[in-house]
Amino acid sequence: MLAIEYELLLAGGSSPRKAQEDEVVGAQSEKSEERGRPSSSLDDRLATLKRLKEQHLITEEDYQRKKQALLDQL
Instruction: Kindly tell me if the per-residue pLDDT of 36 is higher than 60.
Output: no
Give the model's confidence band at 74: pLDDT under 50 very low, under 70 low, under 90 confident, else very high.
confident
**Contact call for residues 14 and 22 (beta carbons, < 8 A):** yes
Query: CA 56, 61, 70: angle at the middle one, nearest 5?
Result: 100
pLDDT: which is higher, 53 or 22: 53
CA distance 63 to 55: 12
Instruction: Kindly tell me if the per-residue pLDDT of 32 is higher than 50.
Output: no
Domain count, the chain: 1
**Contact call for residues 26 and 69 (beta carbons, < 8 A):** no
pLDDT tens digits along 58-68: 999 999 999 99
Residue 3: its pLDDT value, please? 63
CA distance 6 to 1: 9
- Give the domain extent around 56: 2-72
Average pLDDT, the chain: 73
